[in-house]
Structure 1
Amino acid sequence: MVHTYWQIGRLIIEQEQQGEQRAAYGKQQLEQLASRLTGEFGKGFDVTNLRNMRRFYQAFPIRETVSTELSWSHYNQLARLEDPAARHWYQQEAIQQHWSVRALERQIGTLYYERLLSSREKAPVETEAQANTLPLADNPKDYLRDPYILDFLNLETSRYQEADLERGIIQNLQQFLLEMGKGFAFVERQQRIRTDDGDYYIDLVFYNYLLKCFVLIDLKLNKLSHQDVGQMDMYVRLYEEQKRSPDDNPTIGLILCSEHNHTVAQYSVLKDSQQLFASRYLTILPSEEELQRELERERRNIEQQIKEQRGEYRIVQQPSQLSGSV
């Protein structure tokens, strides 16, 4: 079906439209074509579907790039994406991660690709977004995103506790793993770490088989605090001592909070750590415009941090009221 619809899309462009990307004929001609194909081959060739086939070919003009590992419904979703880099990335992820059509639709709707780009501290982001592929390096930052969209938990705004958040994640574990991204496997909830001074409990423990390391998650309802960072730092150190095997890479600690604290992020061990991270979560799916604004803000912050690290920033002096100002 995939290759048949691709061929029909090609014939519409090359024969019916004489190679033009936009049709020179109106809806009536497309209706006539739909009537002819329906009469000869049966259902599946109405005007709407023919438009989808035409768009499919326009999005994937090279036949070798079309994989039968994905269904026609997958490609119908992918063809709607205007950004070729995003389209290619979603296609490869859907194949590798065996996404259902519903999963692909949700990942596109929550701007998975854009959030991943925004959370990776590599500049310039625009240049990387134009690449045909988006490979992941063996860097924890490449596997973590900000924000995480947890709308599938169906939690009432400001009326839930940390236990409700944790319970909702466990009850919707498959969707949470999909939101987490590549290579994550669930290990345990409220895992106990024993010490001479008492027991400590880690909210959620995962293992990433691509990074080959444990990932500890601490859930916080409020704005990120330095106490949260200190607590996760202790958890990671304890886990390194008690749980990590010689074959594992260093343990990662991820604090999921409802609100960022840029001061804490800038002036705590979070800033330069390769093991401690903090991300925001949203329990209500924002609009695409809101997500785009948030991603743009995060991107500017990342680019500014990179410029400061490279010494490329400039100090812009405000006009002075004194004479002789520089």
Structure 2
Amino acid sequence: MADNLSIPEDYYDFLRELKGRILQAQVQAVISVNRELVLLYWQIGRDVLTLQQQREWGAKIIDNLAADLQKAFPEMKGFSHRNLKYMRTFAGTYPDEQFVQEVLAQIPWYHNIALMEKLKSSEERLWYARQTLEQGWSRNVLVHQMESGLYRRQGKADTNFSRTLPDAQSELAQQLLKDPYNFDFISLGKEAQKRELENALIERIRDFLVELGVGFAFVGSQYHLEVEGEDFYIDLLFYHLRLRCFVVIDLKVEVFKPEFSGKMSFYVSAVDDLLKHRDDMPTIGIILCKNKKQKIVEYALGDMNKPIGVSTYQLREALPEQLQGSLPTVEQLEADLEAVEIEIDEES
């Protein structure tokens, strides 16, 4: 063991920096391997497609290739009949090699398969691919975001951000908000109270954070503020790491009402005064309602000088008791999904 007394004072700073560089190199190596693999798959798919079109090779060629490549490279996965068909589809879907190189080769192969299987629009595929790169989505998260229609919900909240925030923050904040938010990971009855919704979201905070998006850090629920001797409680308080600001969320189990914006303006002002650091950006308020009417929201936010957004949310309604026992549990569905993924890996 090294003698700590003989170690220079700046040794541990150097060690910390060195560890960071090694970790970065490991990550880059993984990314590089993935990039080369996806490009190889695209090139194989392109060549198979070309030969089938130009020389009229039949579909049987895929079977022959799968058998011969698996025999030649027994240590390599990925040359199954099924995966070779994916390669051909991949090349047919994206004929531009430069686009594949710059975007799609940056995300894992099974992410690309999910994009092809779930989406028809090239515009949507590109959007989800770039979001995967920016936010580091796993394949399961990517599939969930596609199935929940995130592309159509992102940036759709009604806000006054363009008037109340600096330009750079306004644009980013607008894009981070959704409408509606998809809370299908919880089930509540039609007459659920506000506290039931709040408790359900806190119990499933990991799913809630995934739906909110990357960058939200949970600060607390029923967060206490004292103003001139009176107590006030914020439903949910977050801090956003990219926006560098607090985010106040007020939950409502009813349609939006004009007075909600006044209450939110008070909360935002209080957080700015009591919690906001001098280097933080202005606090943002989000009112989450069961429903809303466009013109009423527009009028309510029109003269507000605090940044406020209004969105709706969708819940998975609780099933009648007689049906609950006949449906698979979350644990059963996860086990089935894991079994399918193992089967795909073995085929590959």
Which TM-score applies when normalising by structure 2?
0.68
Match of 2:46 in 1: 13
For residue 27 of structure 1, the aligned residue among 38, 59, 70 is 59
Residue of structure 2 in register with 1:79 after alignment:
116
Tell me how far 1:108 sits from its aligned partner.
Answer: 1.3
Alpha-carbon distance in 1 for matches of 2:270, 2:195: 23
Structure 1 residue 137: Cα displacement:
4.3
Distance change in 2, residues 1:241/1:143 (3 Å): same
- TM-superposed CA distance for 1:26, in Å, is 4.2
User: Structure 1 residues 30 and 113 mapped into 2: Cα distance closer, same or farther (>3 Å)?
Assistant: same
Residue aligning to 1:46: 80
Residue 206 of structure 1: how far off its partner (Å):
0.7
Check 1:164–1:25 CA distance in 2 against 1; reply closer, same or farther (3 A cut): farther
Distance 1:24 1:202 in 2: 67
Report deviation, 1:274: 5.7
Range with bigger deviation, 108-117 or 35-44 = 35-44
Instruction: Provide closer, same or farther for how the CA distance between residues 274 and 194 of structure 1 changes in structure 2, counting only shifts above 3 A.
Output: closer
Q: Work out whether residues 52 and 58 of structure 2, in 8 Å CA contact, stay in contact via their aligned partners in 1.
A: no
Structure 2: runs of 5+ lacking an equivalent? 1-32, 160-166, 318-348
Q: Which runs of 5+ in 1 are unaligned?
A: 122-135, 286-326
Is the 2:128–2:151 contact (alpha carbons within 8 Å) kept by the matching residues of 1? Answer: yes
Note the 1:54-93 alignment, pairs <5 A: 54-60=88-94, 61-62=97-98, 63-65=100-102, 70-80=107-117, 81-93=119-131
Work out whether 1:217 is the aligned partner of 2:249: yes
Which residue number corresponds to residue 98 of structure 1? Answer: 136
Query: Is the 1:147–1:279 Cα contact (8 Å) retained in structure 2?
Result: yes
Which one of 189, 205, 208 corresponds to residue 240 of structure 2?
208
What residue identity is the alignment partner of 1:217?
I
Q: Is residue 262 of structure 1 aligned with residue 294 of structure 2?
A: yes
Letter in 2 for 1:227: E
Distance 1:190 1:197, change over 3 A: same
Alpha-carbon RMSD? 2.9
Using the TM superposition, give the Cα deviation of residue 49 of structure 1 relative to its aligned residue in structure 2, in angstroms.
1.4
Paired residues, what number? 269
Amino acid at match of 2:121: D
How far off its partner does 1:158 sit? 0.9
Task: Give distance in 2, aligned partners of 1:16 and 1:142.
Answer: 39
2:66–2:81 Cα contact (<8 Å) kept: yes
Q: 1: CA distance between counterparts of 2:190 and 2:257?
A: 19
Q: Are 1:142 and 2:175 counterparts?
A: yes
Deviations 1:45-104 (A, max 9, x none): 333211112223344533532576633222221334333333233223223322111111
Change (3 A) 1:105 1:252: same
Higher share of residues assigned helix: 2
Contact between 2:157 and 2:178, CA under 8 Å: does it hold in 1? Answer: yes
2: CA distance, partners of 1:75 / 1:23: 28
**Inter-partner Cα distance in structure 2 for 1:103 and 1:92:** 14
CA distance in 1 between partners of 2:303 and 2:71 (Å): 65
Distance of aligned partners of 1:52 and 1:16 in 2 relative to their CA distance in 1, 3 Å threshold? closer
For 1:150, what is the secondary structure of its paired residue? Answer: strand
Task: Pick closer, same or farther for the CA change 1:208–1:4 going to 2, 3 Å.
Answer: closer
Amino acid at match of 1:268: A
- Go from structure 1 to structure 2 and tell me whether the alpha carbon gap of 1:48 and 1:120 turns closer, same or farther (over 3 Å shift): farther
- Equivalent-residue separation in structure 1 for 2:80 and 2:300 (angstroms): 60
Once residues 113 and 303 of structure 2 are traced to their aligned partners in structure 1, the CA distance between those partners, rounded to angstroms, is: 42
Query: SS where residue 249 of structure 1 aligns?
Result: coil
Q: Which moved more, 1:208-217 or 1:32-41?
A: 32-41
One-letter amino acid of the structure 2 residue matched with residue 256 of structure 1: L
SS at 1:79 equivalent = helix
Code of the residue aligned with 1:109 in structure 2: it is: E
SS in 2 for 1:238: helix
Equivalences for residues 291-310 of structure 1 within 5 A: none
Q: TM-score, normalised by structure 1?
A: 0.72
**CA 209–110 in structure 1, closer or farther in 2 if over 3 Å, else same:** same
Specify whether residues 228 and 51 from structure 1 end up closer, same or farther in structure 2 by C-alpha distance, changes over 3 A only: same
Query: Is 1:151 the counterpart of 2:188 in the alignment?
Result: no
